[in-house]
Structure 1
Amino acid sequence: MARDFFCERLVLTSDGEVREIDLAHPVVCVVGPIDTGKTTLADCIKYALGLRVAWREVPGERLQTVTLFVRIEGMRIGLRRSLVRDVSNVELLDSNGGGVEEILDVEPKPDSDRRVVGEVLLDLLGLGEMFAPPSAVALLGSGARLTFEQLYAMCYLTQDVVDGTESVRGKANTTQSYRTVVELLLGLTDGPMRVLTARRDELSRTLSELRRQAETINAFLSGSAADLETELARSHDEEHAALQRLEEFKGRMRAATAHADPLRRRVQEAEQVLERYRRAVTDGEHTLGRLQQKVKELIHQRDNGPGRCSPCPVCCADLTLRPVPEGDCPLCLSELDPSVLAHALHAAQDALAAAERQLTEQVKAHSEAQTAWEQARIELDARTREEISPLAAQIELLAAAHATARTRTTMLERELEPHRRLAELHRSVQAAEDELKGVREEIRTRKNLLAGRQTTLGEFEEHFTELAGSVGLPGDPGARLNHSSLLPQVRAGNLTKVGHGVRCAINVVYRMAFLSYALVTGATDLPSFLVIDSPRKNVGYGDDDQELVGRLYTHFLDHIAGVRSGGALRARPHQIIIVDNDLPQLPKRLLDQMHTIELTRDNPLVP
């Protein structure tokens, strides 16, 4: 049934002033000259609901905050939104105390855990599951989500839309989303059907993509997959056999190497001994040379006496001319003792003889170590030549054979991969086709369950044509419903085939039909709320236009009030806000139904 959506109060703050507008009436008419704020009032309602607004220049500069108190399905809430601070959120207010209960985001934010105002409004209307079923959203993401903005476009006939043609659906709605919204509101579809339809569309797209990929791969394939599989199996066998042979010889190599390890250790030990004796011989030769030089110097000193010492080792003075007595030391001028020099010479000659004997022994040991090392090396080389080298050569050949087999296997696998991918695609296509078949069967079953709702569409179309006929459109254009787009059309085609005033009247009647059908039958989930901006101005001011707009207002208000031919009044909650320059001549009974807000240039909406 129709959803209760009723604006009760609008509070505007601007430049330190506060203005409160009473909207708590079923029919509200806002009238006044151009640029007094009529459309701005409708924009303020829209802005407080978290929707986008293209502000007119002056009100947009003066306004600071907009607060709307609204009743939704019996729950009263307040919505406050700033124009000068953070415009990306809306404050949810307690309608009694006016305190802030929650901060709502205007649009979804990836890094925010706050709720979105449009989703809160849909939930309050009981339409959240219908407009954004979780399973469909999870399946198709945002493509399956209808928003509050698209629903509100059904409740707000803007000034540019009221003069339009197919744009009657509103800028928030695409052709597809508008049709979906109408079908949901009239019950021609439901949440489960949307999920099934989303899955069907997703499967259809997936099938198309899989078939395209399969055709692309198939166009470049040559040869038989079975032949390639046979060749690949043979190549795998060859590779496996080569690998087994290679591992066998590697094992034999490890065994032969282990058998030769004692010889290697013997060679290493001999090398260490040889190196040790080599260093000892080198050190002995160095010691022997040093001692030989010392003996030579002492013999020369014994035979020729001590040589003069100059310059002085302390002060570097020239001592060559200093007189040195015979038999005295040229350095300290002390008397020399020949026996001390003879003793030093004898000691140096003994040390030299000992060094010669030790060097002879070291040379002999080095020669023996050299012989031992060479013998060990000869034995190791013989073992390597007889056992290890043939195995190494065979391993090299086997490694080459295995690499060749592996390369061939890799090439065959690469050549076979597109065939396998194609086979996988065929399996995926078959699975998708089977699932799509099942989904289509479920859709047919669901359509049968919803088949009775087609009666609703027929009733709604009849209701619309009846209202259009009762208005008395000039020339009897034959207003009817386009079953493809669910938009209004005329006998000659789309609305561009008729004049400006008739086009405007048909658009108003079309929206009136939705609301009055909801109020009279309760067979729709449309919110019982409608804003129409400037119908009189858009119809025109000629005599015929005046008569047409008078009939339009009369029938509109009669139907909205629930007055039918039988005179039975339907007490369903509803609200209509009409914005226009002025009102046509209307009967008193209709004027009494209205709450009129008159704006003037001296008393505009936003001071």
Structure 2
Amino acid sequence: MARQFSYEKLVLTSVNGVREVDLDHPVIGVFGPIDTGKTTLVDALAYPLGYSVDWRQVPKDRLISVTVVLRVEGMRIALRRGLGSRANLVELIDPRSGEVDETLVVKYDPSGKQRRVGDVLLELLGLAELFAPPEAVAVSSAGAGRLSFEHLYPLCYLSQDMVDGGELVRGGANSASSYKAVVELLLHLTDARTRILTARLKVLLDAVRPLQARVEHVKEFLAAARDEHALRQDLEESRRRVQETLVALEEFKGRQRAMTAEQDPLRCKVAEREAAAARCRSVAAEARAEVERMVGRVRGLQHRAQAGPRLVSPCPGCARDLTGRTVGDGFCGVCTERWDASRLQDLLRLAETELLAAEQAATAATKEQGRKEADLAAAQAELDAHLASRIGPAAGHLEQLAAAHASAKAQSAALEQELEPYARLRELQQELERAVGERDEVKQQLADHRASLSGRQVAVQEIEDFFRHIIDALQLPGDPGAAIDRSSYLPRVRRGPLSNVGHGVRTVLNVAYRMAFTSHALVTGATDLPTLLVIDSPRKNVGYGTDDQQLISRLYTHFLEHITAVREGTTVVRPSQVIIVDNDLPVGFRDRLHVIELSRENPLVP
């Protein structure tokens, strides 16, 4: 059903004071000459909602913050946003107490620590799941499945540029695709399930294309390679040779070990001397480490003896900050007792004595290590001589067997590497087959789901009927043949886009287009469109010639009569609000709407 979204109050805080604007009326006209703050007013309405505003010079220099009080689906809230350094923050305020309930951000926060103001507004409108289904956002890169409040608001706000913007009537925040998606969501031509399936399909399409390219690339590479069957036969033969040469090599090594069994006592001798040498290496290393430790201690004591007493902070015991403690000259910086230089000299002499003893121990350990290393080398040489006399004649044959085994292994490894692209191709083909199958399944699900929603196209026809009815009543010159383009949901004329018609007619068509959406929302309720419509400067955009003035008078007359008739013609009264901003008001309209008149003596910003 249509969503309630209307303004109650606008509060502008500037360097010169505070200005409150009463907006708690169903139809409001804001009028005044140039440079009195009309555009600033509509900018101020959008600013606390998270919109980026290019402020004019006066409000930019004077404004401190902008606050709006809103009714959103029966809930009353206030939003305040500052200028300058706090422009990225919006305060959600309890209108009754004036206290800040939550601080929101304007831009999307990937960390999720702070909510975005647009997301909060979508939640209050009940459109969060529709515009940004979590599943659709999750499967889309960088939140590509996310539509925001910024995409929705242009359907409620026809700015000066949009009034005469032709195809740009969709609003600056919207691309052609996002605008179409928003309209389809609001008219229930699509839904959250469609968006989830669409996002999933896009991910799969993005996955299938590179997989197909990689499969083709591997196929092209293998076209010039050896046949896989022949490679596998060669690999099987090579692996058989690896096994045969390994068996022959191990058998020969076994015979050699049997031939040299009498050298086992020499092998034991070598192992014993290796263990003794290892122990000496360890002792020598420990002795050298002790020397290094004692050298550090001696140097530290020498430095302390030369530097004398000094304040130490933080405390070496509890890490407390001691910089504020007073220590007199000649007193210790830790215990604050009188400094005893002779005690430090005694400690230094003791440390130097211990260092000398450590150096002597390290020298002795190094000499003992040298002796043990020499004993080990002699035992190893004796073993090598005995082995050479026994297995020397067979060494050549052992090398041949080892070389044959290594050659067979290398050939097998090379053949396996040649076969690897074939295995990778099969993996890619299987991955591609799975992705294509899932893509086709999601395509079918999406087509079936869209078919189930096809009956909702009647909503577009209803809006187009409202649109044509409004246009017919305005008696546009030349009957431009206005309609709604079903491929984009934007207004068009018989000759194509709105840029093919004149300035004034284009303005009227755009206003009528927005009126049609609002009328449909109020009469049928079969839409999620908020029942707010803000129109900036329709009269100025139409022009000031005689024909132009007659046309704008008809537009205002029909607009107000249409809104009244729509409200009276529906059995369910839906809250709505229309705000028209223009330079002046046609004669005879002041009693038909709530007027907010600005002047150079009474501008909007104090």
TM-score (norm. length: structure 1): 0.77
1:550 aligns with 2:553: yes
1:386 aligns with 2:387: no
* 1:569 to partner: Cα distance: 7.0
Q: What residue identity is the alignment partner of 1:584?
A: P
2:10 counterpart residue number: 10
Match of 1:435 among 427, 434, 438: 438
Whether the 8 Å contact between 1:563 and 1:570 is mirrored in structure 2 is no
1:60 counterpart residue number: 60
- Range moving further from structure 2, 246-255 or 156-165: 246-255
Compared with structure 1, are the counterparts of its residues 82 and 257 closer, same or farther at alpha carbon in structure 2 (3 Å cutoff)? farther
Matches within 5 A, 1:295-306: none
2:450 counterpart residue number: 447
CA-to-aligned-CA distance 1:514-534 (integer Å, 9 cap, x gap): 111111111110111111110
* 1:186 to partner: Cα distance: 0.8
* 1:194 to partner: Cα distance: 0.8
Q: What residue identity is the alignment partner of 1:606?
A: V
* 1:128 to partner: Cα distance: 0.4
Matches within 5 A, 1:159-558: 159-221=160-222, 222=224, 223-249=226-252, 259-264=262-267, 381-387=385-391, 389=392, 392-558=395-561
Identity %: 52
1:580 counterpart residue number: 582
SS of 1:561's equivalent?
helix
Compared with structure 1, are the counterparts of its residues 21 and 423 closer, same or farther at alpha carbon in structure 2 (3 Å cutoff)? same
Structure 2 Cα separation of the partners of residues 193 and 210 of structure 1: 26
Structure 2 Cα separation of the partners of residues 461 and 51 of structure 1: 30
1:158 counterpart residue number: 159
1:302 counterpart residue number: none
1:37 counterpart residue number: 37
TM-score (norm. length: structure 2): 0.77
CA-to-aligned-CA distance 1:528-569 (integer Å, 9 cap, x gap): 1111110110011111111111122222223333438x8557
1:598 aligns with 2:597: yes
Compared with structure 1, are the counterparts of its residues 97 and 407 closer, same or farther at alpha carbon in structure 2 (3 Å cutoff)? same
Compared with structure 1, are the counterparts of its residues 378 and 81 closer, same or farther at alpha carbon in structure 2 (3 Å cutoff)? closer
* 1:583 to partner: Cα distance: 1.3
* 1:375 to partner: Cα distance: 13
Whether the 8 Å contact between 1:500 and 1:539 is mirrored in structure 2 is yes
CA-to-aligned-CA distance 1:217-256 (integer Å, 9 cap, x gap): 2222223333333333333343344445445555555666
Compared with structure 1, are the counterparts of its residues 258 and 484 closer, same or farther at alpha carbon in structure 2 (3 Å cutoff)? farther
CA-to-aligned-CA distance 1:436-470 (integer Å, 9 cap, x gap): 22112211221221121112122222222222222
Structure 1 Cα separation of the partners of residues 508 and 220 of structure 2: 59
RMSD value over aligned CA atoms? 2.7
Q: What residue identity is the alignment partner of 1:175?
A: A
Compared with structure 1, are the counterparts of its residues 518 and 237 closer, same or farther at alpha carbon in structure 2 (3 Å cutoff)? farther
SS of 1:160's equivalent?
helix
CA-to-aligned-CA distance 1:112-149 (integer Å, 9 cap, x gap): 51111111111000000010001111111311100110
SS of 1:149's equivalent?
helix
Structure 2 Cα separation of the partners of residues 379 and 166 of structure 1: 96
1:343 counterpart residue number: none
Whether the 8 Å contact between 2:269 and 2:379 is mirrored in structure 1 is no
SS of 2:35's equivalent?
coil
CA-to-aligned-CA distance 1:491-519 (integer Å, 9 cap, x gap): 01111111111111111111111111111
Structure 2 Cα separation of the partners of residues 90 and 269 of structure 1: 81
Compared with structure 1, are the counterparts of its residues 154 and 376 closer, same or farther at alpha carbon in structure 2 (3 Å cutoff)? closer
Structure 2 Cα separation of the partners of residues 377 and 144 of structure 1: 77
* 1:266 to partner: Cα distance: 6.5
Structure 2 Cα separation of the partners of residues 586 and 515 of structure 1: 24
Compared with structure 1, are the counterparts of its residues 150 and 268 closer, same or farther at alpha carbon in structure 2 (3 Å cutoff)? closer
Whether the 8 Å contact between 1:132 and 1:144 is mirrored in structure 2 is yes
CA-to-aligned-CA distance 1:148-168 (integer Å, 9 cap, x gap): 101112111111111111101
SS of 1:409's equivalent?
helix
SS of 2:429's equivalent?
helix
Structure 2 Cα separation of the partners of residues 16 and 251 of structure 1: 103
How many pairs were matched up?
Answer: 500
* 1:98 to partner: Cα distance: 0.8
Q: What residue identity is the alignment partner of 1:73?
A: E
2:120 counterpart residue number: 120
Compared with structure 1, are the counterparts of its residues 575 and 266 closer, same or farther at alpha carbon in structure 2 (3 Å cutoff)? closer
* 1:23 to partner: Cα distance: 0.6
Matches within 5 A, 1:8-157: 8-111=8-111, 113-141=113-141, 142-157=143-158
Structure 2 Cα separation of the partners of residues 184 and 4 of structure 1: 17
Q: What residue identity is the alignment partner of 2:164?
A: D
SS of 2:107's equivalent?
coil
Structure 1 Cα separation of the partners of residues 546 and 87 of structure 2: 46
SS of 1:110's equivalent?
coil
Compared with structure 1, are the counterparts of its residues 384 and 448 closer, same or farther at alpha carbon in structure 2 (3 Å cutoff)? same
Q: What residue identity is the alignment partner of 1:431?
A: R
Whether the 8 Å contact between 2:267 and 2:383 is mirrored in structure 1 is no
Structure 2 Cα separation of the partners of residues 374 and 570 of structure 1: 110
1:286 counterpart residue number: none
Whether the 8 Å contact between 1:554 and 1:586 is mirrored in structure 2 is no
Compared with structure 1, are the counterparts of its residues 410 and 378 closer, same or farther at alpha carbon in structure 2 (3 Å cutoff)? closer
CA-to-aligned-CA distance 1:317-345 (integer Å, 9 cap, x gap): xxxxxxxxxxxxxxxxxxxxxxxxxxxxx
Whether the 8 Å contact between 1:515 and 1:560 is mirrored in structure 2 is no
Compared with structure 1, are the counterparts of its residues 226 and 511 closer, same or farther at alpha carbon in structure 2 (3 Å cutoff)? farther
Whether the 8 Å contact between 2:131 and 2:147 is mirrored in structure 1 is yes
Structure 2 Cα separation of the partners of residues 520 and 379 of structure 1: 107
Whether the 8 Å contact between 2:484 and 2:492 is mirrored in structure 1 is yes
Whether the 8 Å contact between 1:157 and 1:532 is mirrored in structure 2 is yes
Q: What residue identity is the alignment partner of 2:70?
A: V
Compared with structure 1, are the counterparts of its residues 524 and 597 closer, same or farther at alpha carbon in structure 2 (3 Å cutoff)? same
Whether the 8 Å contact between 1:253 and 1:392 is mirrored in structure 2 is no
Q: What residue identity is the alignment partner of 2:585?
A: L
Whether the 8 Å contact between 1:464 and 1:510 is mirrored in structure 2 is yes
Structure 1 Cα separation of the partners of residues 512 and 535 of structure 2: 11
- Unaligned 5+ segments in structure 1 are 271-372
Structure 2 Cα separation of the partners of residues 402 and 159 of structure 1: 85
Compared with structure 1, are the counterparts of its residues 213 and 13 closer, same or farther at alpha carbon in structure 2 (3 Å cutoff)? same
1:331 counterpart residue number: none
Whether the 8 Å contact between 1:37 and 1:606 is mirrored in structure 2 is yes
Structure 2 Cα separation of the partners of residues 469 and 250 of structure 1: 106
CA-to-aligned-CA distance 1:237-285 (integer Å, 9 cap, x gap): 4334444544555555566666523135569999xxxxxxxxxxxxxxx
Compared with structure 1, are the counterparts of its residues 38 and 236 closer, same or farther at alpha carbon in structure 2 (3 Å cutoff)? farther
Structure 2 Cα separation of the partners of residues 380 and 575 of structure 1: 104
Compared with structure 1, are the counterparts of its residues 160 and 400 closer, same or farther at alpha carbon in structure 2 (3 Å cutoff)? same
